Amino acid sequence: MSELGVFEAIYTARALRKLKPDPVPEDLIERVLDAAIRAPSAGNAQNWIFIVVRDPATRAGLGDIYRRASDIASAMYAARGRPPHMTEEQFQRMMGSGAYLWDHMRDAPVILIPCQSAPRLPRREDLPPQFQAGFEEEQRYMQQIRGASIYPAVQNIILACRALGLGTTITTNHIRLERELKDLLGIPEDVHTFAMMPIGYPLGRYGPLARKPVAEVARRDRWDGAWAAGPSPR
């Protein structure tokens, strides 16, 4: 199989929510997971577990949780309104595509749940005295960077799916009802779920991805340093 270039994958791996019901071969899922575990994690902890759900009853349970959690999310989106960088058409397309998944999460042949166990902190009393006072600060720091040790793996999953001709998207709505999901899948107390990713052969097409231009989001040296737009990199 000829491999897709990394930039081609990055520029075209859009959120694909409409998926065919056809089964996805296990060796493809294995390859996706093998790409996921190449991701960086703080201290190389690799404290992740990826739950691959194919069982129809369990998928139905996940779909139900996702559906109800999405009711909360859609109320939030509606109250917040369209972000200024999106046209009304782009916003409606995103909302419509999102709404499709509320009712169809369960139909994805595979639902992948990336999980992460709590990061390991030393006991305060084992720290040198001059660092003990900063223990709460360290806890806050660990909390703030927690997602940074699982979301790179999620992005690898997105890109690997793209390269293998599969469709997926990161979703997080279910976290609003995470307790239910943890009970459904038997996930231990000190483990959290960071995404719910439907995976299957896509009905829609890949990319291109529309984003705010670099000149709008990059700064030179300082917050107030304008980015002089150069030639297009593509």
Positions that interact with ligand FMN (CB under 6 A): 14-15, 17, 94, 98, 101, 169-173, 209
The beta-strand segments (E) located in 138-209 are 167-168, 191-193, 197-200
CB of 218 to ligand FMN, least distance (A): 19
Q: How far is the CB of 65 from ligand FMN (least distance, A)?
A: 12
We find the least distance from the C-beta atom of residue 209 to ligand FMN, in angstroms, to be 5
Q: Please say which residue, 133 or 203, places its beta carbon nearer to ligand FMN.
A: 203
Alpha helices, DSSP H only, in 81-175? Answer: 88-104, 129-132, 135-144, 151-163
Q: Write down the least CB distance from residue 94 to ligand FMN, Å.
A: 5
Closest by Cα among 219, 234, 168 to 32: 168
Question: Which lies closer to ligand FMN via its Cβ, residue 77 or residue 135?
Answer: 77
Q: Which C-beta is closer to ligand FMN: that of 81 or that of 129?
A: 81
Encoded tokens for 46: 């690799």
What tokens were used for 187? 């996930």
Q: Which is nearer to ligand FMN, 29 or 105 (CB)?
A: 105
Q: How far apart are CA 122 and CA 234, in angstroms?
A: 47
- Give the burial class of 140: count Cβ atoms within 10 A of its Cβ; 0-12 exposed, 13-18 middle, 19 or more buried: exposed
Name the residue with tokens 């369990």.
58
Structure tokens at 170: 């990161």
- Rank residues 30 and 71 by Cβ distance to ligand FMN and give the closer one: 71
Residue whose token pair is 């997105």 = 158
Tell me, what amino acid is at 222?
R
Q: How far is the CB of 58 from ligand FMN (least distance, A)?
A: 19
CB of 67 to ligand FMN, least distance (A): 11
Burial class (CB in 10 A: 0-12, 13-18, 19+), 21: exposed
Nearer to ligand FMN, 116 or 171 (CB): 171
Question: What residues form DSSP beta bridges with 168?
Answer: 199
